[in-house]
Amino acid sequence: MNFTKQLLITKLKAAAVHLSMSIAVFMYLAYQIYYNWYPEPYFTVDGGLQGFKLVGAIDLVLGPLITFLIFDLRKKRKEILFDLLIILVIQFGALGYGVYTTYTQRPVAVIVIADYVIPVTLEQYGTVIESASELQRYSDEKPPIIYSDYSMTGDQIGEVGRIREEHNALEQAQPQLYWPQSKFPEVLKKRQFNTLGLLESSGSKQAYTDWLQQNGKTAEEILLLRFEGRYGNAWLIFDLEGKLIGYF
C-alpha cells in the first residue's frame, strides 16, 4: 500500500470516529428540536426544520470534514492533540451558535389576535417576563396558545406603548392583553364564520375534508384557526372545549 493511500485511509477512519460521536450528539439535539422546541406543525412552518438543518450541517458535516482535512499521524503527539483541540473549539463554537439560534427563535407562545395567529419568541417579550414557563398559566398547550385582546381604549393603547418602550416588548408579547384559558373556546367559536371563509378562499378545503375523514370527525365537532408561521402556514384544529387535537 502506497503512502498516499494509507494516509487517506487514516484520515477517513479519524473522520468516521468523529462522525459517530457527532451522530450521538445530533440525535439528542434533533429530539429536543422536534419534540420540545418546535413540536409539529411548528417544526415544518415556523423554523424547526431550518434549525434542524443548521445544527445537522455543523455537527455532521463541519466537524468530521475538519478532522479529515487536519488529522495526520505523521505529526508529533503534541501536534495531533493540538489539532484535535482546534477541531473541537471550531465545531463546538459553531454548534453552540447553531443551537443558541435555534433555541432562542423557538415559538414560546402562539398568539391569537383579531384576524390572525402568530408565533412569539422569548426575545419579543423583552423584560416583561423572565421565563417562558410563566406563559403556561394561560394555556395547557405546548407552546401555549393564547388570545390577545386588541380592542383597546385610549388609555390601554398608551400603556401598550409605554411597556413597549420601557420593556422592549412587542404588542403581541404583552400579557396584560391576554385572556384566560377559560375564555378561549368562546373566542374560537366567534371566529369560525370568518375562518371557514378563509379556509375556502385559501384552497385548503380539500385538506380540511381529508382530515375530517381520516380522524372520524364532523365539522360540527371541531374549531379551526389559521396559523401564520415564519416559513409557511398551517391550520390548527381544536375540539369544542378549545383543546388542540390536530393540524393540517
Which CA distances in Å does 207 have to 151, 181, 202, 203, 212? Answer: 33, 28, 11, 9, 9
Give 18-80 as a DSSP string. HHHHHHHHHHHHHHIIIIIIS-TTHHHHSSHHHHHHHHHIIIIIIHHHHHHHH--TTS-HHHH
Asked if 178 and 171 count as a contact pair (C-beta separation under 8 A), the reply is no
Give 109-164 as a DSSP string. EEEE-SS-EEEE-GGGGTTS-S-GGGGGGG-SSSS-EEEB-----HHHHHHHHHHH
Q: Verify that 231 and 153 share a domain, yes or no.
A: yes
Among 104, 139, 168, where does a domain finish?
A: 104
Mean pLDDT, all residues of the chain: 91
Q: Verify that 116 and 85 share a domain, yes or no.
A: no
Q: Verify that 217 and 238 share a domain, yes or no.
A: yes
In this predicted structure, the answer to whether residue 200 has a pLDDT above a threshold of 70 is yes
Q: Verify that 231 and 113 share a domain, yes or no.
A: yes
Q: Verify that 91 and 182 share a domain, yes or no.
A: no
Q: Verify that 114 and 100 share a domain, yes or no.
A: no
Q: Verify that 116 and 217 share a domain, yes or no.
A: yes
Domain containing residue 40: 3-104
153 versus 245: the higher-pLDDT residue is 245
pLDDT category at 1 given cuts 50, 70, 90 is low
Q: Verify that 208 and 236 share a domain, yes or no.
A: yes
Q: Verify that 16 and 64 share a domain, yes or no.
A: yes
71 CA to centre of own chain? 36
Q: Verify that 125 and 100 share a domain, yes or no.
A: no
169 grid coordinates: 416588548
Rounded to the nearest 10°, the torsion over CA 139, 140, 145, 149 is: -10
For Cα atoms 43, 47, 52, give the angle at the middle one, nearest 5 degrees: 75
Asked if 95 and 35 count as a contact pair (C-beta separation under 8 A), the reply is no
Nearest to 222 by CA among 248, 244, 201: 244
Domains: count for the chain: 2
Among 104, 125, 150, where does a domain finish?
A: 104
Q: Verify that 125 and 87 share a domain, yes or no.
A: no
Q: Verify that 240 and 131 share a domain, yes or no.
A: yes
How confident is the model over 122-179, as pLDDT tens digits?
Answer: 999 999 999 999 999 999 999 999 999 877 777 788 999 999 999 999 999 999 999 9
How confident is the model over 7-63, as pLDDT tens digits?
Answer: 788 888 888 988 999 999 999 999 999 999 999 999 999 999 999 999 999 999 988
Among 71, 104, 137, where does a domain finish?
A: 104
